[in-house]
Amino acid sequence: MADRPPPTLRLHIDKDALAQNWRALDRLSGPARAGAAVKADCYGLGANTCVPVLRNAGCRDFFVAHWSEVPAVLEHVPAEQLSVLHGVGCAAEAEYARATGVRPVIDSLRQAQIWTEGGGGPCHLMVDTGINRLGISLGEASDPAIQALSVEVLMSHLACADEDSDKNTAQLGAFREVMNKVAHRETSLANSAGVALGSKFSFDLTRPGLALYGGVPRPELADTIRQVAFPQARIIQTRQIEAGESVGYNATFTASSAMRVGVVSLGYADGILRNWGGAHFEEGGKHLPILGKVSMDMIVLDLTDAPEIGEGDWVSLPYHLPDAARQTSLSQYELLTVLGHRFG
C-alpha cells in the first residue's frame, strides 16, 4: 500500500487538560473520589486516547452505557473498575458481565431477576429519584428481587444539576431515604454539574463526564475546567467572489462587495451540522464568519480579515464548548459526541 497522504482534518486532544480536569473534579468532590463517565467513546474524543490519561491521573471508577463499549475500555483498566450503566437486559448480557468481571448497574426489578438467576454477584444499583429515565423506583427498593442483590454502589442521577432547581434538593432527599432501605457499600449521586453543587451531593463517588472533556455545565466550573478537544481543518480552496455572487446550498449568503473566501473540509459527517450556519471562527484574533449553509462536506469562511490564510492552511474550530454551544444552540454534550470519524 502507498503511504497515506496527510489528513485534512485533525482532532487534537490536550491530554494535560484532560488529566487536570479529572484532578480538579476529584478535588472538588471533597472526601469523595471522582470516577469518569467514558461512554460514547469518551464523549466522542476516543476511549483509546482518553481512558489511559484518566487512569494515569488516578481514576479508578469508569462508566460506559453499553456492553459493546466494554472491550475498548478493558484494554486499559481492570474489569472490576468498569461498570455498564444500562445494566443487564438479557441473560447473554449477564453472562458476559460475569465472564469479563465488569459490573452491571441494575436498573429495574426485571434486571435484578436476570442478574440473580444468572448467578448474581457484586453489582451496582440505580435508583430513580425523579429523572424518570433509568433506575428502580423508591417503592421498589424493598422488593425481594432488590433485597437479594449484593450492591456495591447505590446510585442515582440528577435531572437538573446544571440549573438552580428545587429538584436537586428533592432528589437528594429521596436518595437519602432509599439509602436506608437497601444494603450497599458505597453511594454515588453527582455528575459533572452535581460536583459543583457542593459537598452534600458528593457522597462516596462522583461520576463526571462532560466536564472531564471540557464542558462547563455550571458557571462555578468555568475557571477550573480547561478545553480538551481542538478540532482543526484545512482550507482546501480559496476564491475571490464578486458583489452579488452567492455561496453554498440555496444561495443563502450573497456578497455585498467583492471578497475573498476559503472552503474548509468540514461538514455533516464530521459533526458540523447546519446549526453552525451563522457562527464564526477565530483564527489568530481574526473574526472569520461562516458564509451561508454548511453544504455536505464543506463550509465557506469569509477570509476578508485574514489575507494571510491560504490554501493548505489549518483553521481551528471555535470549540470552547460554552461559546460553541451559544453559537450553534447545540448542547455541549452534542458538540462533543457528534465529532465524526474523519478526524485523525
Ligand X SMILES: *Cc1c(COP(=O)(O)O)cnc(C)c1O
Are 202 and 31 spatial neighbours (Cβ–Cβ below 8 Å)? yes
Residue 191 found at the interface with ligand X (CB under 6 A): yes
Which of 136, 103, 108, 107 lies closest to 121, judged by CA?
A: 103
User: Which candidate in 43, 167, 181, 249 is catalytic?
Assistant: 249
Burial 27-61 (b: 16+ CB within 10 A, else e): ebbeebbbbbbbbbbbbbbbbeebbebbbebebeb
Among residues 53, 151, 210, 306, the one that binds ligand X under rule CB under 6 A: 210
Binding mask 14-53 for ligand X (x = CB under 6 A): -----------------------x-x--------------
Among residues 44, 87, 104, 208, the one that binds ligand X under rule CB under 6 A: 208
249 among known catalytic residues: yes
The distance of closest approach from Cβ of residue 333 to ligand X in the complex, given in angstroms and rounded to an integer, is 7
The distance of closest approach from Cβ of residue 300 to ligand X in the complex, given in angstroms and rounded to an integer, is 33
User: Which candidate in 15, 39, 200, 286 is catalytic?
Assistant: 39
Among the listed ranges 108-116, 179-187, 209-217, 318-326, the one in contact with ligand X (CB under 6 A) is 209-217
Helix axes 15-28, 47-57, angle to 10 degrees: 50
Nearer to ligand X, 191 or 232 (CB): 191
Are 189 and 201 spatial neighbours (Cβ–Cβ below 8 Å)? yes
Nearer to ligand X, 155 or 235 (CB): 155
Using CB positions, name the residue nearest to ligand X.
Answer: 209
Among the listed ranges 95-103, 206-214, 220-228, 256-264, the one in contact with ligand X (CB under 6 A) is 206-214
DSSP codes joined into one string, 36-49: EE-HHHHHTT-HHH
Nearer to ligand X, 35 or 248 (CB): 35
Name 335's Cβ contacts closer than 8 Å, sequence gap at least 6.
Answer: 271, 319, 321, 324, 325, 328
Neighbours of 62 (CB within 10 A): 25
By the 10 Å C-beta count (0-12 exposed, 13-18 middle, 19+ buried), 275 is classed as middle
The distance of closest approach from Cβ of residue 164 to ligand X in the complex, given in angstroms and rounded to an integer, is 16
Residue 209 found at the interface with ligand X (CB under 6 A): yes
Residue 207 found at the interface with ligand X (CB under 6 A): yes
Residue 192 found at the interface with ligand X (CB under 6 A): yes
The distance of closest approach from Cβ of residue 316 to ligand X in the complex, given in angstroms and rounded to an integer, is 24
DSSP codes joined into one string, 206-260: E---GGGGT--SSGGGTTT----EEEEEEEEEEEEE-TT-EESGGG-EE-SS-EE
Size of the site for ligand X (CB under 6 A): 11
Cell numbers linked to 299: 463550509
39 among known catalytic residues: yes
Among residues 77, 82, 85, 146, the one that binds ligand X under rule CB under 6 A: 85
Footprint (CB under 6 A) of ligand X, residues 218-257: none
DSSP letter at 275?
A: G
Torsion over CA of 147, 153, 159 and 163, rounded to 10 degrees? 140
Catalytic center residues: 39, 249
Instruction: List residues binding ligand X (CB under 6 A).
Output: 37, 39, 85, 157, 191-192, 207-211
